[in-house]
Amino acid sequence: MNIEELREYCISKKGVEESTPFGPDTLVFKVMGKVFLLVGIDSKPLQFNVKCDPEKAIQLREEYSCIIPGYHMNKKHWNTVIVDDSVNIKLLYEWIAESYTLIIAGLSKKQQKELLDLE
């Protein structure tokens, strides 16, 4: 996976906006104004932060060497995924989708309805 593939996957999800609120080096993807993924634009290797269920976050860190506690994030809820080709792209997409879904689950019912109503 490269930064372009990551970006395309993220913006393909309903209601997603991208921005650089922390400066030009960090790309942030939000759904309904809430962050679900952050990525360093020039990081080598590519690495990104995703939200994760706390118990699953620990399990993933133990199972995969490419996953560490979220860099500059709440380590209980966020993981940093290092794209070092040790896992397949399908798994990377799965972790991104789980982060997106967790954020949506935390939205108000009104916001969830607004998201459903988006074209």
In a domain, 73, yes or no: yes
Q: Angle between the 89-105 and 3-11 helix axes, to the nearest 10 degrees?
A: 40
What is residue 114's DSSP assignment? Answer: H
CATH number at residue 32: 3.90.1150.30
Distance of CA 44 to the CA centre of its chain: 17
34: domain range? 3-106
In a domain, 116, yes or no: no
What percentage of the chain exceeds 70 in pLDDT? Answer: 99
pTM recorded for the entire structure = 0.93
- β-bridge partners, 48: 39, 81
pLDDT in tens, 82-95: 999 999 999 999 99
Rounded mean pLDDT, 23-43: 95
